[in-house]
Structure 1
Amino acid sequence: MARPTDTWGPQYFLASVGAGGLAVSFFLWLYMWVPHPGQQVPVFEDIASAWGKGDPLQMIMIAVAMTAIAAAAFVNLKLLIWNLGRFSSFRLTPAYDRLRQTNGEAQLTALPLAIAMAINVGFVLGLVFVPGLWGVVEYLFPLAIAAFLVTGLLALAQLGTFYGRVFGTGGFDWAGNNSFSQVMPAFALGMVGVGLSASAAMSANPVTAGAAIVLAVVFLVISALIAMLAVVLGLVSMAQHGTSVEGAPSLTIIVPLMTVLGILTLRVTHGMGAHFDAHAAPGDYLWMLSAFLGVQIAFLLFGVAVLRAQGYLGRFVTGPEVSAGSFGLVCPGVALAVMLQFFINKGLVGAGLIDKFGTAYWALSALSVAAQMSAVWIVLVLYRKHFRPDRSVPATAAE
């Protein structure tokens, strides 16, 4: 029996990215709800200590979070390996050569995007499941910086090839640019930047933190510039030609982009305060996170309006049609859940507007969990639809 994934395209890397994002989102439960004195993030010892206190609700939360992290990380790694194998074969086909002569060449940056997400997931797994990791973490930060930098250089090299062809010899398809698919390179660079910023926020070594700050900000700026250009050009094309049905999920790509750039900004700001006396007040985090959340809401409403007008969910998620691009719908739910967690805990609680673990706190946190569960549902539906043999689904429709 055929499967939609028998016809492979670079957008299937988003399946791996979405699973990795879910692992990170469940880590936020531990990050925000488990005490972790002495370091910026909870580690195995903090989780074990919270478990040992025997609070039934907290024990359930920890069990669910750790199980979900392990399961999502497994799927993330499995899909990354599968995608790398398919990509290796795809590069030998005429379809790859044709892709590199079209606007779709930018979608190849989904490769470094998926790699950067997998590195982030690996760090989460180490924090949650490896005892004593924090004692050697300063040795790991330079390795993480090197890994993210290599991944970022891969993305820049791919982007340089694409832009060199487009601006050097022409050939950009303006009619086919009727989506936000050209934001993909910005998302990949932003994911690299947020990975670099982890060392900026958590390293106790000023040299390590300083190097991470500089590199993270460089990737932030490049990502933001590319995103702004791609959004403007995409809106112009969409206004003239309407939105591409298969590219419609890309209209929500700004939501995860704002999450990674927002967390990057928070981490860099913390690192600047910890090492270079450039401290931010609690109110600074409030307005900063509010701004990122506002951009997310605006583009989410825009994307949902277009998706509803096209009947996208009923066609490509729950309906008979298939498209690899539909995996792009996982990222907005995950990203909104993560951003809401930071907005609630670092913004509202940090500024003293609400009490942590109070009624308002849990009411708002429920919105984050709801967004997270919507992403889980989409992953389960799409995974079953694309990766399981089904005689009712034509394999050739996955292009």
Structure 2
Amino acid sequence: MSVLKRPADTYSPLYFLASLGAGGLSVTFFMIFFFWVDHPGRSVPIFEDIIAAWAKGFLPQQIAIVAAWIGIAVFAFLNVKYLIWNLRALAEFKKTDAYTSLRNSNAETTLLAGPLAMAMSINAMFVVGMAFVPGLWSVVEYLFPFAMIAFGLTGLWALKIIGDFLGRVLAKGGLFDVTAHNSFAQLLPAFALAMVGVGFAAPAAMSTTPATVTTAMMISTFFAVASLIYTLLAATTAFTSMLHYGTHKEAGPTLMVIVPIVTILSILFMRQGHGLHVTFNVHTDNGEMMMFLARMIAVQIIFLSLGLLVMRRQGYFTDFVLGQKTSAGSYALVCPGVAFTVLMHFFINKGLVAAGAIDKFGVAFWVLSAIAVASQILMIALVFRLNRQHFGKPTAAAAVPAE
């Protein structure tokens, strides 16, 4: 009798996306604190601001605060849990022939899911600290150098994998399978670079030390530019391949990877803008910010529509989300929904409200916020569904390896 295995037992580095998605959801809950809790004199809310809001006794806000605390705690835990599981599984995977084959194929770039998830985990730990740790702001300047070291090591990990891949395929011809380039899977390196960059940009927005702000801005700019260049080149060549060969079905979710890249880079540039304003007295008009965010949301809607259209035509959801088939790449579906939720909150609050286009907590505010919350709830349901499929009790369903 054959022993039944969980789909996750057939390992793929794309399972790092399970950690990534959970970390992203913890950030969506932090948006409640960020935009619905007053934090005067600080660029972000901290534990003391949250407690002060709770003490006001406004019931709807208290309910939102409790929901945010629970959400951050649950998904930060899952983020770390699946990160540790993946690091252990990857160490074992490296001992197999499958790993050697992966390192000599287009799928070598799936290894970038590792530094991508690691960078998200560092960001998630900052969210946990701001939400739960009293007195954090009094020592935050001392934490920034350590955070930048952590992001620096993660960035070097990502650059090492990218260097190995590009060195292999560009040094000699014929080592990259163009027929298997019919998806946006090769944008994963750009995604990882952007995530490291936005982590570096955090001290630029929060620090009051000019040297820290400048260092953070310069290094985050490098990773942002690298991500943009990689996105442009990989997306252009992939789209050409998709037009010729059609979209690879199991890699269908990658069509929407542009959405999280847009959110991450938008936040990176906003963090840099805040640093320029506070430290270097450079000002950005609220109307300009509103239009910048409107353009970024438009890009996201376009790629969300494209991805959902293609996957619906191919029957992806019927097979891999609602059906019996499984693919580690399904976790890539979580990232676009999470990213859209986060950028919608920024568009509403830093764009429309800040520019005076709508009133904060008015009817239009809540209608638009409901869109962001609906996307968040859908992603929560998707994460638990995928976790049951891939990490639940063993079933007879065979895993489909993502390419």
TM range, normalised to the smaller chain? over 0.9
Aligned to 2:164: 161
In structure 2, what is the Cα distance between the partners aligned to 1:398 and 1:374?
25
1:248 matches 2:238: no
- Which of residues 348, 354, 358 is equivalent to 2:352? 348
Q: CA deviation at 1:398?
A: 4.6
> 2:391: which partner in 1?
387
State TM-score, norm by structure 2: 0.97
Partner of 2:331: 327
In the alignment, the residues of structure 2 paired with residue 397 and residue 114 of structure 1 have an alpha-carbon distance, to the nearest angstrom, of 22
Q: Over residues 58-100 of structure 1, what are the superposed CA-to-partner deviations in whole Å (9 max), with x where a residue is unaligned?
A: 1110000100100000000000000000000011111111001
1:39 alignment partner, SS class: coil
Matched residue type, 1:335: A
Contact conserved, 1:4 with 1:398, CA < 8 A, in 2?
no
**Match 2:294 to one of 290, 306, 312:** 290
Residue in 2 aligned with 1:66?
A: 69
Secondary structure, aligned partner of 2:41:
coil
Q: Is the 8 A contact 1:249 1:325 kept in 2?
A: yes
Counterpart secondary structure, 1:40: coil
Percent identity of the aligned residues? 50
**Matched letter for residue 314 of structure 1:** T
Matched, 1:276 2:280: yes
Decide which moves more: 282-291 or 9-18: 282-291
Distance in 1 between residues matched to 2:78 and 2:62, nearest whole Å: 24
TM-score w.r.t. structure 1 length? 0.98
The equivalences for 1:203-282 within 5 A come to 203-282=207-286
Q: Which residue of 2 aligns with 1:148?
A: 151
- Amino acid corresponding to residue 397 of structure 1 in structure 2: V
Q: Is the 8 A contact 2:5 2:396 kept in 1?
A: no
Looking at structure 2, the residues matched to 130 and 25 of structure 1 have their Cα atoms a distance apart, in angstroms, of 19
Given candidates 23, 35, 38, the residue that maps to 1:35 is: 38
Alpha-carbon distance in 2 for matches of 1:331, 1:123: 19
Whether the 8 Å contact between 2:319 and 2:325 is mirrored in structure 1 is yes
- SS state of the match for residue 397, structure 1? coil
Q: Which of 176, 180, 183 is matched with 1:179 structurally?
A: 183
1:315 is aligned to: 319
2:66 partner amino acid: A
2:111 corresponding residue in structure 1:
108
Equivalent residue letter for 1:380: F
Aligned to 1:361: 365
Stretches of structure 1 lacking an aligned partner (at least 5 in a row):
none
Partner of residue 142, structure 2: 139
The separation in 1 between residues aligned to 2:253 and 2:40, in whole angstroms, is 40
Matched, 1:8 2:11: yes
Give secondary structure in 1 for the equivalent of 2:355: coil
Q: Give distance in 1, aligned partners of 2:393 and 2:375.
A: 29
Query: How far apart, CA to CA, are the structure 2 residues paired with 1:199 and 1:360?
Result: 33
Deviation sequence 1:39-74 (CA, Å, 0-9, x none): 111101011111111111111100001001000000
Question: How many Å apart are 1:390 and its aligned residue?
Answer: 3.4
Q: 1:336 aligns with which of 340, 345, 364?
A: 340
SS of residue paired to 2:388: helix
Unaligned runs of 5+ in 2: none
- Structure 2 Cα separation of the partners of residues 120 and 296 of structure 1: 22
> What residue in structure 2 maps to residue 130 of structure 1?
133
Residue 154 (structure 1) shift: 1.1
Letter in 2 for 1:121: A
d(CA) in 2 for partners of 1:108, 1:143: 25
Amino acid at match of 2:182: N
1:89 corresponds to 2:92: yes
1:194 aligned counterpart, secondary structure: helix
Shift of 1:292: 1.2
Alignment-mate amino acid for residue 137 of structure 2: W
The answer to whether the Cα contact below 8 Å between 1:10 and 1:110 also exists between their aligned partners in 2 is yes
- Give the Cα–Cα distance (whole angstroms) in 2 for the partners of residues 312 and 124 of structure 1: 33
What is the CA-CA distance between 1:391 and the residue it aligns to?
Answer: 2.5
CA contact (8 A) 2:14 2:329 kept: yes
Shift of 1:278: 1.6
Q: Distance in 1 between matches of 2:80 and 2:338?
A: 18
Runs of 4+ in 1 over 6 A off after TM superposition: none
SS in structure 2 of the partner of residue 246 of structure 1: helix
Of 208-217 and 273-282, the range deviating more from structure 2: 273-282
Report the residue type matching 1:41 in the other structure.
V
- C-alpha separation in 2, matches of 1:392 and 1:86: 21
1:328-353 CA distances to partner (integer Å, 9 max, x unpaired)? 00011100000000000000011110
RMSD: 0.9
Size of the aligned set, in residue pairs, is 398
Q: Deviations over 1:90-116 (max 9, x none)?
A: 111111110011110111111100000
Per-residue Cα deviation, 1:307-366 (whole angstroms, up to 9, x for no partner): 101111111011011000000000111000000000000000111100111110011000
**In the alignment, residue 16 of structure 1 is paired with which amino acid?**
S
Q: In the alignment, is the contact (CA less than 8 A) between 2:194 and 2:261 conserved in 1? A: yes
Kept in 2, the 8 Å contact 1:5–1:398? The answer is no
CA contact (8 A) 1:201 1:267 kept: yes
